[in-house]
A and B are shown apart, each in its own frame.
Chain A
């Protein structure tokens, strides 16, 4: 039995960026872009589900984000996650990787009882690849990044194939362990129709509160009770629930400041044609020596 916790993130669909979605300060206007499931996180969830398939245990998904991030939590339930937590609070807004990993690590501590923490290598909006490793640091557990495959698992250890430049290495670690995965490492399973039908109505605390606001006959406490009893409640953790240091959260806890953003167009020099002859080769070698690529 191995329980896993999976970190997932809802991200703007950056595959369709046009001029309209860029703000004057060079950052992205997220409200103009469709929100999607960060693909590598879906792969991370697939890893966790495979561990569950082979070893048994429970898969718990965690996301930190605004209320609408519940959308991807429902998708996690459709794929097979047992439980999905929404970590949300205005105090968490504007967090950089340091503040994000702090909140996530506190949430993971609160959930507890896990052998694995999985995350995608990076999210397509920030591309930092820092949140996974920083979370591991704060939890005080070892980490293996750029995972391609879980080779085998015992009660206390795991061997993981990790991608490195020009090849791979196989690392062994004790458990618990943080693993970040690459997008080609596994194909996320499709949604199960049964789970889609069963969990399509799953709601977070905020969504239930909104329902109650719009209808004077409904009370959010009662709704939470009712949804929980039907296994349709998405547990929601706020700053208060986590009992954490507010100064380390959100904008306040984020030392990263965007200084400037510029559009960089990468370009190479014009190609040069080398004659396929002895003289041509000699001139190529001379040129490479000159540029200090050879010698």
Chain B
């Protein structure tokens, strides 16, 4: 009876050590909702007990119901016939169970049937579910569009669309991408127009729409005729009526349970969400914060599953008269995987908490404004939080999705030839992981997104504080390593800035962003090692590896490894 929440000591560590007191108090209106709902917490401890119990229930169905169906879901996949998408049999059962469990609206307000959970615990649920079946997260995780409606939609829109998302009767889709507008969403062409009565309609084609067969569609469309950039785009919500045609679904490498649809909007009646022209520049960017994190948690879940498979196999498989676990080269790979998993988890939940803080601060400011109270202090804090989140959410997505590929790759490698065969689960994990560093912004775009904050060294004050701390005896060496990584970063940053070469800077920014993330994660791990002695092993390997990588990155920049970009045409001729 595996429970994917309780059986993971590192996840337990993060659950037990997350200080969420302020966030929970804000999201629960100082626990006022307990008067109205018998399942709302009465105080902080009660809230934590709720989160734990619900994650245990989630871990139970993940381990005992969803994971056993994953191979079937992968084999059957979602199917398409006569304009209609059908989920794999296992996916249908999974959705039914998640609905029975009442978690399809985990983060949505109670008044619409949701559970009002903070973002951190939502990310934990995504990790746990993705470990069982990565493709399911692309349905479960789309409750996020409900959150966008909560924040930017009207009360009527919420009342119309959210209750059925919470019961699981309806699922959602983010309908952004088009054939000519993938990474570059500013190029969206789908046309939004109004009739004389002011009713909006949508017309156009959308492609690569995850769960595009959903009943609630959040659509990015061009509402301002004659515009060509992001400022002419608005966000719309509509139900999937007969004017929304699914033309086909894609035949993909992985996540077979999640249908990826091509959609045609034939004068579909829609409602404007929020303000015109804010579609991309405000609402989609806000959605992306959360979507990046969702994919990161998905990537972590897949990585955890791959690691478990590799560890189990290594302990069972005997060669040369012993288990391959006992072969140093293999156990070294396993340790690398484990250290990556734990350092990634630290990053994910640290940044998830940051997103929570940011969102709670937004809610608070909204409330203060509505009550006619001053909110300058909160606004200043929000500004700072947004700046850091703008840096750390893409770093999280980049790090965790790239790691998922590396971990599943190594897990398959540990299986040897067996791992290449369909009979073993690990090949599916390797295929499923591959999308995580592509969708919701490729790794390259994450670097672009993170490079602003990195080049501006937005964490420098925080790092100064970390450096000024006194670390216990055994940690001094590691703290010194982190100082050295930071020194290499600052030196490399200076070099890149002074070079004033845009192309060079763009390529070098990957090295810079990596170095910056090493310092951030390194300090997280040092802090954890002070709480839990075993974590010193994780901190040690992570920081020593990072120092070596930072030296490599610094050397690449200093010796102008990418100087030959100027000669790209000749090299590639």
A interface with B by C-beta (< 8 Å): 78, 189-198, 200, 230-231
Given the contacts A196-B57, A197-B50, A200-B53, A189 and B39 also touching, CB distance less than 8 Å:
no
Interface residues of B in 27-54 (CB under 8 A from A): 38-41, 49-50, 53-54
Q: Is the CB of B101 within 8 A of A193?
A: yes
Given the contacts A198-B38, A198-B39, A193 and B49 also touching, CB distance less than 8 Å:
no
B267 at the interface (CB under 8 A from A): no
Q: Is the CB of B100 within 8 A of A197?
A: no
Given the contacts A200-B49, A200-B53, A194 and B39 also touching, CB distance less than 8 Å:
yes
Residue from the set A190, A196, A231 with the largest chain B CB neighbour count within 10 Å: A190
Note all chain A residues with C-beta closer than 8 A to B39: 193-195, 197-198
Note all chain A residues with C-beta closer than 8 A to B54: 193, 196-197
Q: Is the CB of B115 within 8 A of A194?
A: yes
Given the contacts A195-B39, A198-B38, A231-B38, A190 and B53 also touching, CB distance less than 8 Å:
no
B interface with A by C-beta (< 8 Å): 38-41, 49-50, 53-54, 57, 60-61, 65, 97, 100-103, 106, 115
Residue from the set A192, A193, A196, A200 with the largest chain B CB neighbour count within 10 Å: A193
Q: Is the CB of B103 within 8 A of A193?
A: yes
> Nearest chain-A residue to B110 (Cβ)?
A194
Note all chain B residues with C-beta closer than 8 A to A230: 38
Give the docked Cα–Cα distance between A194 and B106 (Å). 10
Q: Is the CB of A193 within 8 A of B61?
A: no
Note all chain A residues with C-beta closer than 8 A to B100: 189-190, 192
Q: Is the CB of B102 within 8 A of A194?
A: yes
Can you report 11 residue pairs joining A to B where beta carbons are below 8 Å apart? A190-B57, A190-B100, A193-B54, A193-B115, A196-B53, A197-B41, A197-B50, A197-B53, A198-B38, A200-B53, A230-B38
Give the docked Cα–Cα distance between A231 and B50 (Å). 18
* Given A190-B101, A196-B57, 20 new contacts (CB under 8 A): A190-B57, A190-B60, A190-B65, A190-B97, A190-B100, A192-B100, A193-B39, A193-B101, A193-B102, A193-B115, A194-B39, A194-B115, A195-B102, A196-B50, A196-B53, A197-B40, A197-B53, A200-B49, A200-B50, A231-B38
A79 to chain B, nearest CB (A): 9
Note all chain B residues with C-beta closer than 8 A to A189: 97, 100
Note all chain A residues with C-beta closer than 8 A to B53: 196-197, 200
Give the docked Cα–Cα distance between A190 and B53 (Å). 13
> Nearest chain-A residue to B42 (Cβ)?
A201
> Nearest chain-A residue to B57 (Cβ)?
A191
A113 to chain B, nearest CB (A): 25
Give the docked Cα–Cα distance between A225 and B97 (Å). 35
Note all chain B residues with C-beta closer than 8 A to A193: 39, 54, 57, 101-103, 106, 115
B50 to chain A, nearest CB (A): 5
Give the docked Cα–Cα distance between A193 and B102 (Å). 6
Q: Is the CB of B102 within 8 A of A192?
A: yes
> Nearest chain-A residue to B106 (Cβ)?
A193
Give the docked Cα–Cα distance between A230 and B103 (Å). 24
Give the docked Cα–Cα distance between A196 and B41 (Å). 12
A187 to chain B, nearest CB (A): 8
Note all chain A residues with C-beta closer than 8 A to B65: 190
Note all chain B residues with C-beta closer than 8 A to A192: 100-102
A129 to chain B, nearest CB (A): 24
Give the docked Cα–Cα distance between A200 and B50 (Å). 8
A59 to chain B, nearest CB (A): 15
B468 to chain A, nearest CB (A): 42
B523 to chain A, nearest CB (A): 35
Note all chain A residues with C-beta closer than 8 A to B57: 78, 190-191, 193, 196
Note all chain B residues with C-beta closer than 8 A to A190: 57, 60-61, 65, 97, 100-101
B572 to chain A, nearest CB (A): 55
Give the docked Cα–Cα distance between A190 and B50 (Å). 16
> Nearest chain-A residue to B125 (Cβ)?
A193
Give the docked Cα–Cα distance between A195 and B61 (Å). 16
B59 to chain A, nearest CB (A): 11
Note all chain A residues with C-beta closer than 8 A to B103: 193
Note all chain B residues with C-beta closer than 8 A to A78: 57
B497 to chain A, nearest CB (A): 50
Residue from the set A195, A230, A231 with the largest chain B CB neighbour count within 10 Å: A195
Note all chain A residues with C-beta closer than 8 A to B61: 190
A233 to chain B, nearest CB (A): 14
Note all chain B residues with C-beta closer than 8 A to A197: 39-41, 50, 53-54, 115
A80 to chain B, nearest CB (A): 9
Give the docked Cα–Cα distance between A197 and B100 (Å). 14
Give the docked Cα–Cα distance between A196 and B100 (Å). 12
Note all chain B residues with C-beta closer than 8 A to A191: 57, 60, 101
Residue from the set B57, B103, B106 with the largest chain A CB neighbour count within 10 Å: B57
> Nearest chain-B residue to A196 (Cβ)?
B53
Note all chain A residues with C-beta closer than 8 A to B115: 193-194, 197
B103 to chain A, nearest CB (A): 5
Give the docked Cα–Cα distance between A16 and B53 (Å). 25
Q: Which 7 A-B pairs have the closest CB atoms?
A: A197-B39, A193-B102, A198-B39, A198-B38, A193-B54, A194-B39, A197-B50
Give the docked Cα–Cα distance between A197 and B102 (Å). 11
Note all chain A residues with C-beta closer than 8 A to B50: 196-197, 200
A258 to chain B, nearest CB (A): 30
A214 to chain B, nearest CB (A): 18
Give the docked Cα–Cα distance between A198 and B36 (Å). 12
B335 to chain A, nearest CB (A): 30
